[in-house]
Chains A and B, each alone.
Chain A
Amino acid sequence: MIPELGHFALILALMLAVLLAVVPMAGVVRRDLTLQHSAGALSAGLFVFLLLSYACLTQAFLQDDFSVAYVANNSNALLPWYYKVSAVWGAHEGSFLLWTLIMGGWTLAVALRSEALPTAMLARVLSVMGALTVGFILFLLMTSNPFERVLPVAAAEGADLNPQLQDFGLIVHPPMLYTGYVGFSVAFAFAIAALLSGRLDAAWARWSRPWTNLAWAFLSVGIALGSWWAYYELGWGGWWFWDAVENASFMPWLVGTALIHSLAVTEKRGVFKSWTVLLAIAAFSLSLLGAFIVRSGVLTSVHAFAVDPERGMFILVFLLLVVGSALVLYALRAPVMRAEARYEGLSREVMLLANNIVLVVSTAAVLLGTLYPLVYESLTGGGKISVGPPYFNAVFVPLMVLLLLIMAPAPLARWKRTGAAQLMRSLSKVALASVALGLVLPLVVTGALELWPVLSVMLGAWITLALLVDALERVRNKQGLPAKLRGLKTLGAGYGGMVLAHLGVAVTALGIALTTTYSTERDVRLAPGDSVTLGPRTYLFEGVAPLEGPNYVADQGTVRVFQNGQPIAVLHPEKRRYLARQMVMTEADIDPGFFRDLYVALGEPLGEGAWALRVHDKPFVRWVWFGGVLMMFGGLMAAFDRRYRRLKLRDQAALAGALAS
C-alpha cells in the first residue's frame, strides 16, 4: 500500500510540475498577476508531494518490503537502519528520486527566498524550474520507477546493498553532490528568465550570485567527500582517479567556479553579460551531461549504475531539448557584445577574464578526455580507445598552475584600472617571500628540493600572503589592533567568503602536490609478531582475529604503530565477507592526522597466520579535502552576505518607483 501511495504522490507531483511549468509562464505572457502568483503555491505543493513520495520509498526500506523490486535488490533485513535510509539512494532509481526531491527543494527555496524579486521574474524562474522537474519526474515514471513490485512472489531476503556502499560516505556524499549539481539549475533558470525578459542587467547578476555560491559550496564539499570516501573505502590509498564519473562532477564545478567570478564582473561592471549567461547555461548542462554519463552506461566507471539503453536515450533526448532550446534562446536573445567598457590592462575584470579563460579551457580539456573514447569511436565507426590519468595530469596540472598564479593579484586589483606601480609595490614583497618560503620550507623539512613541493609551497604562499596584504591594506587607515579587526569585519561576508574559498584552493593544491610527492607505501608479508618500518614509524603486526558484524563476518587485524619507541596508534584493518552477496571487502584502517595519515590495509592470508599487508604513509593527504571544506564555508558565507538582501530591497524600491512614475 505504501509504495503505491509513493507512486501516486509522484504522479501528483508530475501534475503540479506541469502546472508550474505552464501557468506562471502563461501569466507572464498574458500579464495576469494571479496566474504569476500561483508559482509559489505550486512550488510548495510540488515539494510536498515529492517529499511524500520519497518518504514512502524510505518507509519501504525501513519495513524491509521486499515485494518492491528496488528494495529487494538494494537492501537486506540485516542492514542497520541508517544504511537502510541511505540505501534509498544506493542505486539508480532511488538516487534519481533523491535528485528530483532536491530539485523540488531548490524550487521551494527560490519561491520562499525571493520576496524582493519582481513577480514576473520570479514566475519565469519558477516555471523554468518546474519544466525541468517535469523532465525529471517523467524520467522516473517512464524508465526508472523505484516503486515497481515483484508480485506475486516477493523475495524472502533482500539482495543487500552493495557492500562498497555500506559506509558513512554513502550517507553524506550523494546528497551533498546532488544538491550541488541540481543547485546550478537555479542559475540556469535565472539565466533563461533573464533572456526571456530581456533584462540581463546588474540586478539579474545580483539575484543569481547567492544561489550560485550556494550550489558551488555544496558541489565543492560533495566532490571532496567523494574523494575522501574513495580514499578510505577502495583500499589502495588513491583519492582521485580521473574516472568518467568524477570528471562528470568536476566539470560543473570548474564552470561553476568560472560563473561565480563572471557574475561578479557582470554585477559590478555590467560587462561579460552574454558570457555569464552562457556559463550559467553550461554549468547546469554539464550537470545533466554528468547524469547522462553515469546513468546511461555509455562510459564504464566504478560509479556506473545498471546499464539500460532506454534510460540513456531518455536523458539524451532531455539533454537535447533542455540545452538545445536554452542555446537557441541564447543565440536569439543574448546581447551582442559591443565594446561595452574599455578594459585596462591590469584591472580586476581583466584578471577575472583570464580566470574564466583558464577554467573554461580546463573544462574543455576534461570534457575532451572524458568523451574522447566516444568521439574517436564516432569518427572511426567502432575503433575503440582509452584515455588514462596520464592525459589528464599532463593537460590539467599546468593549467591549474596558471590559475593559481592569477589568484594572487586578482583580489588586489581594483575594478576599471589598477595602477601597475601600486600592484607591483604590494606584490613584489609577496613574490619574494613566496619564492623564499618555497625554497626554504621543503629543504628544511625534507632536506631535498623537489619540483612539485617547491612550486606548490611557492604558489600557496603567493596566494595566502597576497590575501593577507590585501586585507591589511583595506584596514590601513584604522589605528590599533581592535579598530583594524572591526575594520576587517566591515569588509563583509562576501569578502570573507572569497578569502576562505581562495585559501581552500591553496590548501587543496598544497595537499595534492605534497601527498603525491611524499607518500610512501610498502607491501609486506607479516606473521604475527613481525614488524615493518616505513619512514620514522614501525608497524607491529599482532595477528588476526575473527569478528562478527551485523551482515558480515570479518578477519580483523591488529597493527601497533611505534615512533621513537613510543606507541602512537593501534590500527584494525579488516577483511570482510558480506553474507548476502558473498562479496569480500577490504576495510583499511587509518590513523588520520593533520600532517600525515597512517593507512594499513589487509591483503590475503598467506598461511600460518601470516598476511599480506599494505602500509601507507601519506603526508598532507587530509589537506586535499580540508581545502574543499574551506571552499564550502567560503561559498556559504558569501551566499549569506547581507549585502544581497540590502540591495534586493534597493532594487525593489527602484522598481516600485519606476512603476509609480
Chain B
Amino acid sequence: MSRTSLFLPLGLFLLMAFMLWRGFALNDPHELPSALLNQPLPDFQKTRLADGAPVARQDLLGTPFLLNVWATWCPTCKAEHAELNRIAARYAVPLVGVNYKDDGPAARAWLARYGDPYRLSVVDEDGSLGIELGVYGAPETFIVDGDGIIRYKRVGAVDRRVWEEEIRPVLQNLGLPLEEPRA
C-alpha cells in the first residue's frame, strides 16, 4: 500500500461534498424545477383508493386543484395532514391525493383515522405516476390549473405559512375564490 492510496478517502469525500453541493444548489425545495413548470400534468390510468374505480387524468380537470403526494410510511405526511384537513374544510379548493408506493388497506385505514381531506386519492402503488411527476420524496404538493398545467410544486410539508404565502396566492391568481373562508 502506498502513500497515494491514503488520498482515497479524501477523493471520496470531495466527490460526496460535490454531490451534496450540487444537490443543495439544485434542490431549493421551494422551487419548481424549471423543466416541470408550466408543463401539462402527465397522462395516467390508475384506480381510486376508496373503491378501486378507474381514474384518469381527464377526470381531474376542470377547476384548479391541489395534487398532494402522500403515503402512510411517510412521517412528514402525517405532520402536514392536519393542515390539509384544515384547508379542505375551510376553503373551496379540491384536493386530490396520490397515494404513493403504499399499501391500500393501510392507506384507507390511515385516512379513516386521521381524516380524509381528498376528493379522491389516486393509487400509485408502483410509483410510476410519481416518476412522471418527478417526485423526490413524499410529501409533495402540486397546483394544477383547470387545463391540467402544473403551476406550482412544493417538496416537503405544507404548513400554515406555505399555504398563506405560496399556495393560496397562486390559487387566487388562477381565479379560485379563496378570500373568505367558508363558514
- Asked if A and B are interacting partners, one says yes
| Interface residue ranges, A against B (CB under 8 Å) | 164, 230, 234-236, 241, 243, 274, 278, 281-282, 285, 292, 296-302, 304, 307, 309, 312-313, 316, 319-320, 323-324, 327-328, 330-332, 334, 336-338, 371, 373-375, 377-378, 381-386, 388-389, 523, 582-584, 586, 601, 603-604, 612, 614
Q: Which residues on the A side are within 8 Å of B20 (C-beta)?
A: 292, 298, 316, 319, 371, 374
* Residue of B27, B35, B155 with most partner-chain A CB within 10 A: B27
* B156 pairs with A297, CB closer than 8 A: yes
Q: Are A241 and B22 in contact (CB under 8 A)?
A: no
Set of chain B residues within 8 Å of A313, measured between Cβ atoms:
24
Interface centre among B2, B109, B115, B157 (most CB of A within 10 A): B109
- Least CB distance from B122 to A in Å reads 17
B92 touches A (CB below 8 Å): no
How far apart sit A59 and B108, CA to CA, in the bound complex (Å)? Answer: 46
A382 touches B137 (CB 8 A): no
Select one of B10, B85, B157 contacting A327, CB under 8 A.
B10
Question: Once the chains bind, are A385 and B9 in contact (CB under 8 Å)?
Answer: no
B72 nearest in chain A by CB position? A236
Given A236-B72, A241-B75, A300-B29, A324 contacting B23 (CB threshold 8 A): no
Question: A331 touching B76 by the CB < 8 A rule?
Answer: no
Q: Taking beta carbons and an 8 Å cutoff, which residues of B are in contact with A?
A: 1-3, 6-7, 9-10, 13-14, 16-24, 26-30, 33, 35, 72-73, 75-76, 78-79, 82, 85-86, 101, 109-110, 112-115, 127, 130-131, 134-139, 155-157
Q: Quick one: which of A241, A337, A523 contacts B112, CB cutoff 8 A?
A: A523
The answer to whether A604 and B73 touch (CB under 8 A), given A292-B20, A298-B23, A378-B19, is: no
Chain B facing A: main interface SS: helix
Q: How far is the CA of A352 from the CA of B179 in the complex (A)?
A: 66
CA distance A319 to B18 in the complex (A): 12
Q: Which residue of A lies closest to B160 (CB)?
A: A581
Point out the residues of chain B lying under 8 angstroms from A243, CB to CB. 75
Residues in chain A near residue B13, CB distance under 8 A? 285, 323-324, 327
Min distance, Cβ B107 to any Cβ of chain A, angstroms: 11
Expressed in whole angstroms, the minimum distance between the Cβ of A229 and any Cβ of chain B is 12
Alpha-carbon distance A316/B130, docked complex (angstroms): 29
B17 & A307 in contact (Cβ 8 Å cutoff): no
Cβ A312 vs Cβ B24 within 8 A: yes
Given contacts A374-B23, A377-B26, A378-B23, contact A612 B16 (CB under 8 A): no
Closest to A320 in B: B17
Give CA–CA (A285, B14) in the complex, Å.
13
Contact A316:B134 (CB < 8 A) given known A377-B22, A378-B26, A612-B112: no
B85 / chain A contacts, CB cutoff of 8 Å: 584
A-B pair count, CB < 8 Å, reads 149
In addition to A301-B76, A309-B24, A382-B33, 16 A-B residue pairs with Cβ atoms within 8 Å of each other are: A300-B29, A300-B139, A307-B30, A309-B28, A316-B17, A316-B24, A319-B17, A336-B1, A377-B23, A377-B26, A377-B136, A384-B33, A384-B136, A388-B101, A389-B73, A523-B109
Whether A336 contacts B2 in the complex (CB less than 8 A), given A382-B26, A614-B109, comes out as yes
Do B26 and A381 touch across chains, with their CB atoms under 8 A apart? yes
Q: How far is the CA of A309 from the CA of B21 in the complex (A)?
A: 11
Q: Which of A299, A327, A383 is in CB contact (< 8 Å) with B9? A: A327
B6 touches A330 (CB 8 A): yes
Establish whether residues B138 and A386, one from each chain, have CB atoms under 8 Å apart when the complex forms: yes
- Give Cα distance in the complex from A351 to B144, angstroms: 58
6 contacts between A and B (CB under 8 A): A312-B24, A319-B20, A324-B17, A371-B16, A384-B33, A586-B114
B131 touches A274 (CB 8 A): no
Cβ–Cβ < 8 Å partners of A323 in chain B: 13, 17
Q: Which 3 A-B pairs have the closest CB atoms?
A: A374-B23, A603-B113, A302-B75
Evaluate contact between B76 and A378: CB separation under 8 angstroms: no
Residues of A within 8 A of B24 (CB): 296, 298, 309, 312-313, 316, 374
- Say whether, besides A236-B72, A307-B156, A327-B13, A586 and B113 are in contact (CB < 8 Å): yes
Are A300 and B131 closer than 8 Å at their CB atoms?
A: no
| CB nearest to A337 among chain B residues | B1
Least distance between B13 CB and chain A CB atoms (Å): 6
Say whether B14 contacts A324, CB under 8 Å: yes
Complex contact A375–B23 (CB within 8 A): yes
Looking at the assembled complex, report how far the CB atom of A241 sits from the nearest CB atom of chain B, in whole angstroms: 6
* Chain A, residue nearest B76 (CB): A302
Q: Would you give the shortest CB distance from A232 to chain B, in whole angstroms?
A: 14
Docked CA distance A122–B26 (Å) = 43
Bound together, the chains give a CA A296 to CA B7 distance in angstroms of 28
Q: Is the CB of A386 within 8 A of B136?
A: yes
> Which residues on the B side are within 8 Å of A312 (C-beta)?
24
Chain A: minimal CB distance from B14 (Å)? 7
Q: What B residues does A278 contact at CB under 8 A?
A: 9
Min distance, Cβ A329 to any Cβ of chain B, angstroms: 10
User: Which B residues lie within 8 Å of A612 (CB)?
Assistant: 112-113
